[in-house]
Amino acid sequence: MFNAFERKIAARYLRARRGERFVSVIAIFSLVGIALGVATLIIVMSVMNGFRQELLSQILGLNGDIGVYGASAPLTHYDEMAGKIRSIKGVTGAFPIVQGEVLMSGPQGGATGGIARGITQDGLRQLPTVSKHVIAGSLANLTGGDTIAIGGALAQQFNLSVGSELTLILPQGKATVIGTIPSIQSFKVVAIFQTGMQQYDSSFVFLPLGAAQTLFQQSGAASQIQVFVTDPDHDEAVKQAIVNAFPGTGLNIQDWKQNNDSFLAAVTVERNVMFLILTLIIIVAAFNVISSLIMMVKDKARDIAILRTMGASSGSIMRIFLMAGASVGVLGTLIGFVLGVLFCQHINEIRLFIQHLTGQQLFNPTIYYLESLPAELDWREVTEVVVMSLVLSVLATIYPSWRAARIDPVETLRSE
């Protein structure tokens, strides 16, 4: 498409000589702008992908993919129902839980609200978010009526360790002859887990199923059955199979999308808005390419006229400036691609280095719910960003190149 003559002239025009420094500086700024735009877009989209994936893995790892609830009352035949659900194709696990809100208090005073969840040993083993992140004690000791497993942030808040006692207070209380009094019970800490999600580590506690039934006065009943499936993104068939397995019971079945619809919608909207905003950086850099190329055409008008009189065609002139302008965009895109990918692959090392230099915590887990800054490269998105940048860079060169090809050599040389 481009012959040796056109490549040589385009390369010559990109090298600044005396009196041409200003045009070259604008071209350099255009290259830097495109590189920064591409790198920033890749980094931000990868961080948002990682943030979404990390949060969803934490949420699904603790709450299951599908929740089966009673129509208007707790589930009584939960063991039979869980066994029947486990036999459905696509289900990897199903277990009952008893859950409720409590007020938690440590032995040294202070109180905080949280969620107490009663669960069986088999069910606890199906929660890798908890079972594989025990930092003290053992979940095997979570038996009897007075044992509890707590998160690391909660243990730090109340200065608890394995063997300490945590008091749970139910706001509903018990009805007595003198009125309703709060239900208070102390539990011995047998395990401390660290999921990495601040919200769970500071507010979730686990009890044996029987102890939770006694605490919440739901003897022989369960709040829900949590179901895990092989493909959470396509769980409609499993939901329909559960409905068919229990006809006429009026079960309330909700999947993880319904339970987290506001969160998913917020993340999706934020990703789209950030993509549009950061794309403007590349568009602005493309306009810089246009301005620098227009100035180059004006500056090289006499050279263009001489080339035309020596036999260069208007198409050849257009290709020369297309190559000169597009090379800035292509080089900037490649630099931005490399910078973006390398930054994403070493993002936590960079974060720790900046924290060490500034002495400030850049990623507070109490605000962002995560203890590290995740980044997940989606190569399809990266390809889209690179292609978009290349297309914009090439489109930015068309008009100045067309203007260069339209220069009349006779009029230009006469004015010179």
- Give percent above pLDDT 70 in the chain: 89
CA-CA distance, 227 to 225, in Å (whole number)? Answer: 6
Whole-model pTM over 0.85 = no
Alpha-carbon distance values, 94 to 49, 88, 209, 242, 380 (Å): 29, 10, 14, 12, 35
Mean predicted confidence (pLDDT) in 359-363: 69
Q: How far is CA 149 from CA 85, 125, 140, 153, 199, in A?
A: 27, 13, 10, 12, 15
Segment 248-272, tens digit of pLDDT: 777 888 888 887 777 778 878 888 8
Question: 204 pairs with which residues across the strands?
Answer: 115
pLDDT of 368 > 60? The answer is: no
Question: What integer best gives the mean pLDDT of the chain?
Answer: 82
pLDDT tens digits for range 59-82:
767 778 888 888 778 888 888 898
Q: Phi-psi bin for 241: left (phi > 0), alpha (psi -120 to 50), beta?
A: alpha
Contact 184, 94 (CB under 8 A): no
pLDDT tier, 353 (very low <50, low <70, confident <90, very high otherwise): confident
pLDDT-derived band at 57, boundaries 50, 70, 90: confident
Lowest mean pLDDT among 17-21, 27-31, 349-353: 17-21
Say whether pLDDT at 41 is over 70.
yes
Please report the pLDDT score of residue 166 as a whole number.
Answer: 92
Q: Are 271 and 45 in contact (CB under 8 A)?
A: yes
What pLDDT score does 93 carry? 87
Q: How far apart are CA 139 and CA 125, in angstroms?
A: 9
User: What's residue 173's pLDDT?
Assistant: 63
Predicted local distance difference test score (pLDDT) of residue 180:
65
Question: When comparing pLDDT for 198 and 225, which is higher?
Answer: 225
Structure-model confidence comparison of residues 327 and 355, the more confident one: 327
| Pairing label, strands 204-208, 111-119 | parallel
Q: Which pLDDT value is given to residue 192? A: 93
Mean pLDDT of 274-289: 84
Which of the four pLDDT bands, split at 50, 70 and 90, describes residue 376? confident
Could you read off the pLDDT of 380-416 as tens digits, one per residue?
889 989 999 889 888 888 888 888 888 777 776 776 6
Q: Given pLDDT bands bounded at 50, 70 and 90, which one contains residue 127?
A: confident
Express the helix, strand and coil content of the chain in percent, nearest 5 each. 60, 20, 20
Q: Which of 94-98, 228-232, 304-308, 326-330 has the highest mean pLDDT?
A: 94-98
**Confidence label for 188 from pLDDT (cuts 50, 70 and 90):** very high
The pLDDT value given to residue 149: 93
Q: Report pLDDT digits (tens) over 142-156.
A: 988 889 999 998 999
Other CB atoms within 10 Å distance of the CB of residue 290: 17
Helix, strand or coil for residue 222?
Answer: strand
> Is the pLDDT score of 3 beyond 80?
no
Q: Identify the DSSP state of 108.
A: T
pLDDT band at 205 (very low <50, low <70, confident <90, very high): very high
Q: Which of 37-46, 295-304, 313-322 tops mean pLDDT? A: 37-46
**Sorting pLDDT into bands at 50, 70 and 90, what band is 177?**
low
